[in-house]
Amino acid sequence: MRPIPLPPRWLAALLLASTLCGLSSPALAVVRRHDVDDADYIALGSPANFPASGFITAGNGALLGGTLIDPLYFVTAAHISGDIVPGVTTFTIGGAAYVIAEQRPHPSFNSTGKFENDINVVRLATAVGNVTPTPYNMGLPELGSTATTIGYGQTGTGLTGSTGPAGQRRGAQNVVDLIGDGAVFPPTAFLADFDNPTPAGAIRDNSLGAPTALAFEGTLALFDSGGGVYANLGTGRVLIGINSFTASVDGTPNNDYSDLFGATRVGLYSDYIAMNVPEPSTAVLTLIASVLSAGVVRRRTRTATGS
């Protein structure tokens, strides 16, 4: 399906994630439906459901998302690279904090000013041993899929918009409604709108796609940057996106009903990821070498003792 061009009036209302992640205060997450209990969104986004999602602790204490794709590597948004200090900043996952060794934000991030290529491959100093990395999309189409996004940012409801504070992990669901057209939104991103579940609101607040709100319909807010977006594209659940930006249709960028969020399309970057994540990873090779070495030592010992 061809991308749907956006009305020119939306251009002035676009709020890119340089403010989405603006780190001016300590980093509850994801703006939710007003008629669904907050505890349900917390449960949806729990580590038990999405173990490969973790968080970066920025210098001011804000929590920003990231997704483990290899024992030594995770992906996040390029626009938060300024909040990562290799050797100092940590990524927390599986109950432990790991020091970040190196980051490789996409060299063409925001090259045309539309927040395109908002992806950053980050290497840890030590491998994560207790969490299985998530598979990621290798190029299957995302349009129309039901996606779950994970974030640690501000919360609120569709009636109030994002009101803060931040730091509690949540999940929310949405349908991928649009691929960026390249004129207003980057073609390297997909978008979803925040549908109102009330009959009147469903008509008034629908911006993209069908007006039907999902059971855990939601959108992004301040400090949700870098979090993962997951969907089943027919081969099982995979990482399809990285939280990138928000946009407003009504001229008030407060993440209420009708507002949009955009995520980087991971499926466009399999080559970029492969370039930056050795296959098999150093961690896997080290583990294999250790196991083989231990086996050789045991065999030699048993031969020497005659057992």
- Could you tell me the pLDDT band of residue 180, with boundaries at 50, 70 and 90? very high
Whether 299 is covered by a domain: the verdict is no
Whether 289 is covered by a domain: the verdict is no
Whether 187 is covered by a domain: the verdict is yes
From CA 154, how far away is CA 267, in angstroms rounded? 27
Record the pTM: 0.83
Residue 10 has pLDDT above 50, yes or no: no
Please provide the DSSP assignment of 201-237 as one string.
HHHHT--SS--PPPTTBEE--TT-TT-EEEEE-SSSE
Whether 33 is covered by a domain: the verdict is yes
Q: Which residue has the tokens 């994540």?
A: 277
Whether 304 is covered by a domain: the verdict is no
Whether 24 is covered by a domain: the verdict is yes
CATH number at residue 192: 2.40.10.120
Whether 260 is covered by a domain: the verdict is yes
Q: What is the pLDDT of residue 27?
A: 27
Give the chain's domain count: 1
Q: What is the pLDDT of residue 289?
A: 52
Whether 183 is covered by a domain: the verdict is yes
The dihedral built from the CA positions of residue 161, 166, 168 and 169, taken in this order, carries a sign that is: positive
Q: Residues 84-99: what's their mean pLDDT?
A: 97
Residue 187 belongs to what domain range?
Answer: 8-276
From CA 34, how far away is CA 206, in angstroms rounded? 16
Residue 303 has pLDDT above 80, yes or no: no
